[in-house]
């Protein structure tokens, strides 16, 4: 994935948290194995949220901001 993103910070987000929880009658299946696989295979962090219920959206946005602030921006204008 890094070769396609030009060394940008990447956050993989699963956004169907609400329907998954409802389908399991309120029981939340841990997706630790899936998250670990995604993180290892793609080299990025995995988080979940629900745009319907709002669950986890604050955490996802905070992490996206943190990742963006960690990257050092290289100047695109060369000094003469």
Per residue, what are the HEC states of the chain?
CHHHHCCCCCEEEECEHHHHHHHCCCCCCCCHHHHHHHHHHHCCEEEECECCCCCCHHHHHHHHHHHHHHCCCCCCCCCC
User: What would the pLDDT profile of 16-41 be if each residue is shown by its tens digit?
Assistant: 765 555 555 555 555 667 777 778 88
pLDDT of residue 53: 84
Q: Where are the domains of the chain?
A: 2-70
Position 57 confidence tier, pLDDT thresholds 50, 70, 90:
very high
Residues paired with residue 14 on neighbouring β-strands, in sequence order: 48
Residue percentage of the chain with pLDDT more than 90: 12
Instruction: For 49-59, give one letter per residue: b (16+ CB within 10 A) or e.
Output: bbeeeeebbee
Give the global pTM.
0.62
| Per-residue confidence (pLDDT) for residue 59, from 0 to 100 | 95
């Amino acid at each position: 994935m890094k070769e396609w993103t030009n060394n940008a910070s990447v956050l993989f987000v699963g956004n169907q948290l609400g329907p998954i929880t409802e389908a399991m009658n309120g029981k939340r299946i841990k997706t630790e194995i899936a998250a670990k696989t995604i993180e290892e295979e793609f080299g990025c962090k995995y988080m979940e949220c629900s745009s319907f219920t709002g669950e986890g959206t604050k955490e996802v946005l905070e992490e996206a901001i943190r990742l963006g602030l960690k990257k050092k921006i290289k100047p695109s204008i060369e000094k003469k």
